[in-house]
């Protein structure tokens, strides 16, 4: 049964994620990789946590900061752009901070940028004095303009910001950009970056003082583990001691080269089979065939590239 929303449940953690949209699927995959599983309710708005007392609430991304502020949800996966905007709005209304960013999540990357008509020659922010800028992010934009010492008019729009210059409702825009294709299609070009954004795990400004504290801490540790392992590969091989300097040169970008102790091996004062050492190192990103062949030419034998599934640092 779906517990009533708005009541503070103390022994279960409730995480708000986007119901559908850019962040929905990656948020679910990340939480699943953290070992969470759920039973979905019929209305598909609430998912009851089965493997752990961690439930999901599926909502619009714009609602997530408010749900955390009101204590309806404990954590949320939301774009930094949305979180900062709503935090800025609270500050402008004299409200205290209600949430904070706990962890960047490495997906949903985009930038909040100023974009001007293609034919403009951009000379810098001073050029904006007295102009009209259309945006869905008035608080972030107003803060930026203030820091730049510029007096411009912020035209708040809830959508289709990119057509405002063509409609004559604004001179330029401030909007989210990822590939830049939407800007190009509207004959606009990006000129200033106001914010580097990605999906983040957000929580209440004050933290928790009950069972949720332990659950949130465990989740954060798992998120950290999952993100650190992303794209990491463990490289294992054996080699004679005299090959080490050449191999280390080839593996400069990898982590430290570790000699794995083998029975009767170097740790015990001897060496492994045929006098070879067992070696391993952690590599960021893919390890190509070409790299493996170079390592082999430098004396590495029995090369193996392994995917790391789980680790606790
Ligand atoms: P909802 O129905 O939940 O309100 P939405 O239309 O507001 O959905 P999406 O378009 O799915 O939201 O974007 C969600 C988040 O994805 C944005 O707040 C932003 O953090 C991120 N994002 C990444 N790239 C882009 C992009 N090119 N345009 C807009 N958002 C992007
Ligand atoms: Zn939205």
CB count within 10 Å of CB 297 equals 10
Helix, coil or strand: residue 140: helix
CATH class of 232-307: alpha beta
pLDDT at 265 over 60: no
Convert the pLDDT of each residue in 61-113 to its tens digit.
999 999 999 999 999 999 999 999 999 999 999 999 999 999 999 999 999 99
Rounded CA separation 236/279 (Å)? 6
For residue 262, pLDDT over 80 is answered with no
232-307 has the same fold as 13-107+199-229:
no
Per-residue confidence (pLDDT) for residue 298, from 0 to 100: 97
Report d(CA 86, CA 264) in Å as an integer: 62
CB 239 within 8 A of CB 136: no
What is the distance, to the nearest Å, from the Cα of residue 263 to the centroid of all Cα atoms in its chain?
42
CB atoms within 10 A of CB 276: 20
Count CB-CB contacts under 10 A for residue 55. Answer: 24
Q: Determine the 3-state secondary structure of 3 from DSSP.
A: coil
Q: For residue 244, which of 282, 279, 288 has the smallest C-alpha distance?
A: 279
Q: Which CATH number fits domain 110-197: 3.20.20.70, 3.40.190.10, 2.40.50.100, 3.40.50.300?
A: 3.40.190.10
75-93: burial string, b at 16+ Cβ within 10 Å, e else: bbbbbbbbbbbbbbbbeee
Instruction: State whether the beta carbon of 108 lies less than 6 angstroms from ligand 1.
Output: yes
* Ligand 1 touching residue 110 (CB < 6 A): yes
Can you tell me the distance from the alpha carbon of 83 to that of 204, in angstroms, rounded to the nearest whole number? 12
Domain boundaries along the sequence of the chain: 13-107+199-229, 110-197, 232-307
Q: Which residues contact 266 (CB under 8 A, 6 or more apart)?
A: 259, 272, 277
pLDDT at 311: 81
> For 6-40, what is each residue's pLDDT tens digit?
445 578 999 999 999 999 999 999 999 999 999 98
Q: Which atom of ligand 1 lies nearest, measured to the CA of 179?
A: 27
Ligand 1 lined by 196 (C-beta under 6 Å)? no
Q: Confirm if 156 and 92 have CB atoms less than 8 A apart.
A: no
Is the per-residue pLDDT at 4 higher than 60? no
Best residue among 19, 21, 136 to mutate for probing ligand 1's pocket (most ligand atoms within 8 Å of CB) is: 21
* pTM: predicted TM-score of the whole model, two decimal places: 0.84
Question: Residue 108 — φ and ψ, nearest 5°?
Answer: 70, 30
What's the CA gap between 87 and 81, in Å, rounded? 10
Half-sphere exposure (Cβ direction) of 96: Cα atoms closer than 13 Å: 5
pLDDT digits 0-9 by tens, 235-255: 999 999 999 999 999 999 898
Q: Is the C-beta atom of 197 inside 6 A of ligand 1? A: yes
Return the ligand 1 atom nearest residue 62 CA: 4
Query: Does the beta carbon of 21 sit less than 6 angstroms from any atom of ligand 1?
Result: yes
pLDDT at 268 over 50: no
Rounded mean pLDDT of 163-179?
96
Burial of residue 227 (number of CB atoms within 10 Å: 0-12, 13-18, 19+): middle
On whether the CB atoms of residues 294 and 242 are closer than 8 A, the answer is no
Question: Is the confidence at residue 207, as pLDDT, over 60?
Answer: yes
Comparing 22-26, 187-191, 226-230, the range with the smallest average pLDDT is 226-230
Cα(46)–Cα(38) distance, rounded to whole angstroms?
9
Q: Could you tell me which CATH class the domain 13-107+199-229 is placed in?
A: alpha beta
């Amino acid at each position: 049964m779906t517990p009533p929303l708005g009541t503070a449940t103390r022994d279960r953690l409730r995480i708000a994620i986007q119901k559908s949209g850019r962040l929905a699927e990656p948020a679910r995959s990340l939480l699943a990789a953290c070992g969470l599983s759920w039973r979905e309710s019929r209305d598909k708005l609430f998912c009851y946590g089965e493997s752990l007392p961690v439930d999901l609430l599926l909502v619009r991304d714009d609602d997530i900061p408010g749900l955390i502020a009101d204590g309806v949800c404990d954590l949320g996966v939301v774009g930094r752009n949305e979180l900062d905007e709503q935090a800025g709005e609270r500050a402008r209304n004299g409200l205290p901070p209600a949430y904070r960013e706990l962890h960047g999540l490495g997906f949903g990357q985009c930038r909040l940028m100023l974009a001007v008509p293609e034919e403009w020659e951009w000379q810098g922010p001073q050029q904006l004095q007295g102009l009209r800028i259309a945006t869905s992010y008035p608080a972030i934009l107003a803060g930026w303009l203030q820091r730049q010492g510029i007096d411009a008019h912020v035209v708040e729009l809830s959508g289709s910001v990119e057509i405002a210059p063509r409609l004559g409702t604004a001179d330029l825009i401030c909007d989210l950009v990822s590939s830049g294709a939407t800007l190009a299609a509207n004959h606009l070009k990006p000129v200033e970056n106001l914010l580097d954004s990605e999906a983040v795990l957000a929580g209440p400004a004050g933290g928790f003082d009950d069972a949720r504290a332990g659950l949130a801490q465990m989740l954060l540790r798992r998120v950290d583990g999952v993100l650190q392992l992303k794209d990491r590969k463990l490289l294992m091989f054996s080699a004679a001691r005299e090959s080490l300097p050449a191999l280390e040169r080839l593996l400069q970008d990898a982590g430290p080269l570790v000699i794995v102790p083998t029975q009767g091996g170097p740790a015990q004062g001897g060496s492994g089979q045929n006098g070879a050492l067992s070696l391993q190192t952690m590599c960021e990103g893919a390890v190509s065939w070409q790299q493996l062949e170079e390592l082999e030419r430098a004396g590495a034998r029995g090369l193996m590239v392994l995917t790391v599934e789980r680790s606790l640092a």
